[in-house]
Homo-oligomer: A and B are copies of this chain.
């Protein structure tokens, strides 16, 4: 949202409109957001119900009409958003702008390509707006803590992912050679899929080793997967622990250095009393 704040227009009616459709501080804005969320949920239900054959057979047309009503309403909303911001393009290219568009396009496309309307489930992303109505700030800040922890450990995590991908590829190929096509390991990609299913401890069982050697390798992979789950957990936890315990947002009066420990009494950089 941040990069939209600077978008607020001066002119009266546009400013007013912006307040209503983009913010939830004014009564009007709150009403707008609540109705919007109600509509989103309703439309999601419609999409889901329509995908259930029994229901589609009986209430097909009703759902189809409802679907179109929602799409038209959302289209109007989208236009309102466009006219109420100063730099429309900026909004269009923003995350929420994208989502808002993707939330209406499929219905129109479904006229040409049937089936695409199910992609409307992307509308759930619009529900993230719900945080706007709850005490947004708090949730956002909480979210920020998690996100920053993940960002801080992105390199560690990517190292971990590369390791995992390497393991599953090698294991997958080996399994393909060991078990072979007669036991369902019909190709290396399939075997890699099996390796992922096993390492992540999902274990569908649609594919499982039959030969003693295969079962032995599988056992090793399982114990490996069971143990290395500790690594990402450790990485994220270590970062989060740091953030949870080190909460000081003090600025040093002298050198303006931040990031002091909660229990710091003097600035660790310039020795000024905090």
User: Which residues of A pack against B, CB within 8 Å?
Assistant: 44, 47-48, 51-53, 115-116, 118-122, 124-125, 127-128, 130, 138-139, 142-143, 145-146, 149-150, 155-162, 164-166, 169-170, 172-174, 176-177, 181, 186-190, 192-193, 196-206, 208, 212, 215, 218-219, 222-223, 225-227, 229-245, 251-252, 254-261, 263-271, 273
Contacts and interface: CB of A to CB of B under 8 A. Distances in A.
B263 A266 contact: no
A238 B237 contact: yes
A270 B266 contact: yes
B235 A230 contact: yes
Q: Is the interface of A mostly helix, strand, loop or mixed?
A: helix
Nearest to A149: B234
14 contacts: A47-B173, A52-B186, A52-B188, A124-B166, A127-B162, A139-B159, A230-B232, A231-B236, A233-B234, A234-B236, A237-B238, A238-B245, A252-B269, A259-B263
Q: Pick from A198, A243, A273 the residue with the most CB of B within 10 Å.
A: A198
Contacts of A203: 197, 201-205
B263 A124 contact: no
Given A181-B53, A193-B218, A259-B263, A226 B200 contact: yes
Given A170-B125, A268-B260, A240 B240 contact: no
A123 to B, nearest CB: 9
Contacts of A245: 238, 241-242
A188 B223 contact: no
Contacts of A226: 199-202, 225, 229, 232
A118 B179 CA distance: 13
Contacts of A230: 229, 232-233, 235-237
A173 B118 contact: yes
A198 B202 contact: yes
A100 to B, nearest CB: 15
A223 B237 contact: no
B177 A118 contact: yes
Given A241-B237, A259-B263, A270-B255, A118 B157 contact: no
Contacts of A239: 234, 244
A146 B159 contact: yes
